[in-house]
Structure 1
């Protein structure tokens, strides 16, 4: 059962990343929402993607903190 759930997460994550990429090419469509959601979903299955997204989130938090100071 866990394998099926992981497979569904991977498929949905890839679809969301593709929609996010296509949304970046179309000016009216906000693709970043789908891209981030897809990466976070893929990160729950693949540890390297999780580390990568975690590093990006930490960098964004540090930038926000440095601008507040």
Structure 2
């Protein structure tokens, strides 16, 4: 299964760990002074990591759709 995860800009990230701490599913983790997707399948696309990042180093580049038809 292919899916898009939030993108972490390593140039902007200061490894504060706020994103990993707020992640309600444990998808993100702070490990060996890096932010990683420890459990990527747990990501529910809530965007909390993007919202809390003080450096704006996380971008959620996905669109959530409801499956409704247009027209």
Common fold: TM-score over 0.5:
no
- More strand by percentage: 2
What's the TM-score, normalizing by structure 2? 0.31
Larger radius of gyration: 1
Q: Which has the higher contact order (CA 8 A, sep 6+)?
A: 2
What's the TM-score, normalizing by structure 1? 0.32
